[in-house]
Amino acid sequence: MPDLKVLIVEDDEDVRLGCLQALELEGLTVIGAKCVEQVPRMAPQDFPGVVVTDIRMPGMDGMAYLRQLVEADADLPVILITGHGDVATAVQAMRDGAYDFIQKPFSPEQLVGVVQRALEKRRLTMEVRALRRQVAAIGGLESRIVGRSAAVVELRALVQDLAATPTDVMILGETGCGKELIARCLHDLSGRTGPFVALNCGGLPETLFESEIFGHEAGAFSGAAKQRIGKVEHAQRGTLFLDEIESMPMAMQVKFLRVLQERVVERLGSNRLIPVDFRVIAATKADLGALSEEGKFRADLHFRLNVATIDLPPLRDRREDIPLLFQYFVSQAALRLDRPAPEIRDSHIRELMAHKWRGNVRELRNEAERYVLGLKSSIGQGASDTPAPLSQTVEVFERGIIAEELRRQHGNISRAAEALRIAKTTLFDKIRKYGIETAPLV
């Protein structure tokens, strides 16, 4: 759970400072504002804490602010500060969704007691929401990591197993295999309440890298007109996804290693160390071990990141998933483009099964979109590589056809054998030979 906060909105400076001091002495994180218009921008439904607001203030008053907050999140505890003439109004506010009210003058102990009870309620609410999101993500994992091959079944199990741990993860795989998808699944299943923050290490010039990842203070360098929160700090209580980590500049690798080890970050132009609680998921298409031996990647950073690894299989090694994936991408593209989903021809499936798929799942998704648009297929173009041996091509094709027919028949081997026009015993032998998953679709 993130550190809970208390937002105090009070135009009387003495009262506001008194509230801030009383709560800070209890070890609480407190934010103060003299009016609603000066409240830091926040999403009420995600605000990790409670709001304490005066009723009578310049600009938007406390009652209007209450209605705005309750409309956005009915579970957000809002405590009203009332004067002598506002008690009837506060009672009405309780009916309208306020958590409680305290009447001026009030003691620090009274304020702290009400706030702590409200914080406990908020903590429980956020824990329940996180658990519900986690359960929903688990239920939807099969619809996000699509496939019935043994490799994909193992992949889903590994993602589910690693997700709830705080361990940093390294994802290995060729371009287009879905490394960011796996990273997002890990985050969604983790129960972490912070954001998923993605950074492509190969997409930033070295001169901007340090500011982008660590942040900077106003005036830290020429052009730094205002403070900037870096990616690491922004990922507080969440996940930092570093794609193409092999492209991280060597000078930054040293500094990032320290952040990983100490879990503190120091903005450019500042001497203050800021504690951070975040999980790192790194992704690479390169062999970091080989790069380390060549002096092109720091070995100590590689060892620090390489705790738990997920190796994504290329599409050519799980061809039996191609028909299901293509059907899935065609349906997605039809919805997005507002076009009817065309019937998928068996002849086209055979072409897909024989293609090399150098661009992996990303290339297959693009092919599905072209198919929906009625454009000429790009598969088979530019295939100048030496073809695979005939026996290997036949086996790959046969495995894919059997797996697809089993999927259509919901795992029923008798009906699949009849549809394929082969003996049931022959189909059993081929299923064992290819290690095909026969569990029915649910």
Please report the pLDDT score of residue 217 as a whole number.
87
Q: For the chain, how many residues are written?
A: 442
CA 280 vs. chain centroid, Å, equals 12
In angstroms, the CA 271 to CA 265 distance is 10
Please report the pLDDT score of residue 126 as a whole number.
84
pLDDT digits (tens, 9 = 90+) for 254-275: 999 999 999 999 888 888 898 9
Cross-strand pairs, 308: 169
pLDDT value at 321 more than 60:
yes
Mean pLDDT confidence for 346-369? 89
- pTM, full prediction: 0.63
Which domains does the chain carry? 5-133 (3.40.50.2300), 146-311 (3.40.50.300), 319-385 (1.10.8.60), 386-442 (1.10.10.60)
Mean pLDDT confidence for 338-360? 87
pLDDT value at 442 more than 70:
no
Q: Which pairs count as long-range contacts for 255-263, CB under 8 Å and 24+ apart, including other chains?
A: 255/210, 255/214, 256/213, 256/301, 257/298, 257/300, 257/301, 257/304, 259/214, 259/232, 260/168, 260/301, 260/304, 260/305, 261/304
pLDDT value at 332 more than 70:
yes
Please report the pLDDT score of residue 134 as a whole number.
61
Do residues 379 and 352 touch, judged by C-beta distance below 8 A?
A: yes
Do residues 239 and 183 touch, judged by C-beta distance below 8 A?
A: yes
pLDDT digits (tens, 9 = 90+) for 379-408: 755 444 444 555 666 676 777 778 778 877
Range in 43-47, 241-245, 328-332 the model is least confident about: 43-47
| 425 burial level (CB within 10 Å; 0-12, 13-18, 19+) | exposed
Q: What percentage of residues in the chain have a pLDDT greater than 90?
A: 40
Please report the pLDDT score of residue 438 as a whole number.
66
Sign of CA dihedral 21, 24, 28, 32: positive
Please report the pLDDT score of residue 139 as a whole number.
56
Angle between helical axes of 87-95 and 62-72 (0-180°, round to 10) = 10
pLDDT value at 219 more than 90:
no
Please report the pLDDT score of residue 435 as a whole number.
77
pLDDT value at 363 more than 90:
yes
pLDDT value at 52 more than 80:
yes
pLDDT digits (tens, 9 = 90+) for 134-152: 655 555 788 889 888 888 9
Structure tokens that stand for 120 in this block = 């406990």
Mean of all residue pLDDT scores within the chain: 86
pLDDT digits (tens, 9 = 90+) for 108-132: 999 999 999 999 999 888 877 776 6
Please report the pLDDT score of residue 393 as a whole number.
60
Range in 244-248, 334-338, 377-381, 430-434 the model is least confident about: 377-381
pLDDT digits (tens, 9 = 90+) for 154-175: 999 999 999 989 899 999 999 9
Mean pLDDT confidence for 331-357? 87
Please report the pLDDT score of residue 383 as a whole number.
43
In angstroms, the CA 314 to CA 388 distance is 16
Q: CA 230 → CA 201, 208, 406, distances in Å?
A: 14, 11, 49
